[in-house]
Structure 1
């Protein structure tokens, strides 16, 4: 890879050998699935235990993957990036922008905002169900017999 893409001390090249379960990490992001506001980049969302990435130890959740085998990932759809990973071969070289320890603009290991809003909706539905059940029980106990 050439050094023109994000040359900084936080950019590292990581070579991984594909294992029986692939490269051993999940990604999020892309033009169609923006994970970080105003950033179409591809981010590591999960490192799988005992996978190639975990065994290597350098790739971390929250790191931004800039390129695969020299192919820049800027402005790609999520699916196109997944296809690049699948066809990258056994030896894969990643150019990675390491997440800074106090980086507030990147993923922090928690779920994206859309996931938390779904959880909030689920909580509200559960609370409504509990309220309806409480009202039903109250009406059963306090109804008048004539």
Structure 2
């Protein structure tokens, strides 16, 4: 993501208490494993619903983690961030940039969301065309259409 876009979004603080299964989410990213094009940040890739993050509900898949207990994650590789999580203690404070459908790129898509009714209409047209082609092939194969004329068998 572009840094200028980050400045227009607000980071939020999320405090989690480590449970028996840890914090209950997975991460991707880092300078050595970029997840989003031109962004070496750390992103939440999966939330375990019965884990601390899932029960809390504020952290979502696609959110970018900016800091752990005040430690900035910029320019760290994936392993360094994993180690920070492991040694963060029972009470963990995260600074998180919430996922925004307006400012995404990379694996999240580079275009804004489209109107779902237009997408549904396009899908309906595609299915209808497919059925028409299948019917044409079926009836032609059964001898109902030969030489451009319909005939009964």
Q: How many equivalent residue pairs?
A: 104
* 3-state SS of paired residue (2:15): strand
Q: Tell me by how many angstroms 1:83 deviates.
A: 0.2
Asked if the contact 2:10–2:97 (Cα under 8 Å) also holds between the matched residues in 1, the reply is: yes
Deviation at 1:107, TM superposition (A): 4.7
> Which consecutive unaligned segments of at least 5 residues does structure 1 have?
1-5, 109-146
* Alpha-carbon distance change, 102 to 37 in structure 1, aligned in 2, over 3 angstroms: same
- The equivalent residue for 1:100 is 100
Q: TM-score normalized by structure 2?
A: 0.63
Give the unaligned 5+ runs of structure 2. Answer: 1-5, 109-153
User: What is the CA deviation profile of residues 55-102 of structure 1, one whole-angstrom value per residue up to 9, with x for unaligned ones?
Assistant: 000000000000000000000010000000000000000000001134
Partner of 1:33: 33
Alpha-carbon deviation of 1:103?
Answer: 3.6
The answer on 1:18 being equivalent to 2:18 is: yes
Q: 1:16 to 1:7 in 2, by over 3 A?
A: farther
- Rg comparison, structure with higher value: 2
Structure number with the bigger relative contact order (C-alpha 8 A, sep ≥ 6) is: 1
